Amino acid sequence: MAKRNLTTVTEFILVGFTDHPELAVPLFLVFLSFYLVTLLGNVGMIVLIQVDAQLHPPMYFFLSHLALLDACYASVIIPRILATLATGKTAISYGRCAAQFFFFTICAGTECYLLAAMAYDRFVAISNPLSYNVAMTPGTYRGLLAGAYVCGVLAAILRTTCTFTLSFCDNNQINFFFCDMPPLLKLACSSMTQSEIIILFFAKSMFLDNVVFILVSYMLIIRAILKVKSTGGRAKTFSTCTSHLTTVILFFGTLAFMYERSNSDKSLEEDKIVSLFYTVVIPMLNPLIYSLRNKDVKAAFRKVTSKLQVP
């Protein structure tokens, strides 16, 4: 017989910041500044890529969508944090919690697949540059992007359905600052063996599949770079990958620390810090990583700013 959902909770209480109420104002200002910088950097990156003809290769097409995901990522999480810090109201309805979890999971899942698609793009560009335009046609890179979004949405539907068909009763306090999977699973009062297995299996499968794909892509990239005769040529070729590789290490590294540890190793305070890093800090850093280490982006930025200057 199928188990019924015995949920009696109609709202959750986010208590991630209530331990230090005296820090509400400073934290509000910090998160507000992070959010504004994140929006400015990512929206600016999207606009820059759209208006500059030199930034229309597939690599920048993927980068514009990475910026879009980062802006959405931050917008799902930070406004809720700001509202909690400003008003002191920590309650979030069951439906809004599910919606926040769903859209956050879409952004995170899609970004996993998008970073893998970007690794494939770098592999094609470096291993066989003469046939790059033939291999990465508009249909190919748009198909890769569509696949990333479809996989992200399907993963979000599955994880949200499995998580919110669990029963939540009595304790409704989430010792976290947003509705994420680990603290929600800890609150479930029904038997969650089957649902938890499904959630963890697909979460780890999505994570490991993309990590393995990226690792294989970079192994092949390194092999292609080693065939370049001059040291300067090898350095110049590898420099086209450094921004993407930095983003991959930051993103997957924090996800691994957050989700791949055993329960006995988990510290709630550590989880809070790490989750803040990948939901707040990384979306802010990505535009800086790509703009500071990419000559084309810097040249396009100088071109746009010179046009905006008043004579």
* Domain assignment of residue 3, yes or no: no
User: Count of domains in the chain?
Assistant: 1
Instruction: Dump pLDDT digits (tens) for 18-51.
Output: 667 777 889 899 999 999 999 999 998 898 888 8
Asked whether the beta carbons of 94 and 12 are under 8 A apart, the reply is: yes
* Domain assignment of residue 31, yes or no: yes
What's the pLDDT at 3? Answer: 43
User: pLDDT at residue 152 above 90?
Assistant: yes
What's the pLDDT at 264? Answer: 44
Instruction: Dump pLDDT digits (tens) for 218-245.
Output: 999 888 888 877 776 677 777 778 888 8
* Domain assignment of residue 6, yes or no: no
* Domain assignment of residue 5, yes or no: no
What's the pLDDT at 297? Answer: 76
What's the pLDDT at 267? Answer: 64
Indicate the pLDDT class of residue 4, thresholds 50, 70 and 90: very low
Instruction: Dump pLDDT digits (tens) for 155-165.
Output: 899 889 888 88
* Domain assignment of residue 1, yes or no: no
Average predicted confidence (pLDDT) for the chain: 82
User: What's 125's domain CATH number?
Assistant: 1.20.1070.10
Mention every residue, 6+ apart, whose C-beta is less than 8 A from residue 71: 38, 39, 42, 43, 46, 283
User: pLDDT at residue 13 above 70?
Assistant: yes
Q: Which residue range(s) make up the domain with 64?
A: 11-308
Ranking 86-95, 103-112, 232-241, 263-272 by mean pLDDT, the lowest is 263-272
What's the pLDDT at 193? Answer: 60
Asked whether the beta carbons of 120 and 144 are under 8 A apart, the reply is: yes
* Domain assignment of residue 123, yes or no: yes
* Domain assignment of residue 168, yes or no: yes
Higher pLDDT, 305 or 110: 110
Instruction: Dump pLDDT digits (tens) for 249-296.
Output: 888 888 877 766 545 445 666 777 788 888 889 999 988 888 766 777
* Domain assignment of residue 17, yes or no: yes
Ranking 5-9, 54-58, 133-137, 287-291 by mean pLDDT, the lowest is 5-9
Query: Over pLDDT 90: what percentage of the chain?
Result: 30
What's the pLDDT at 171? Answer: 78
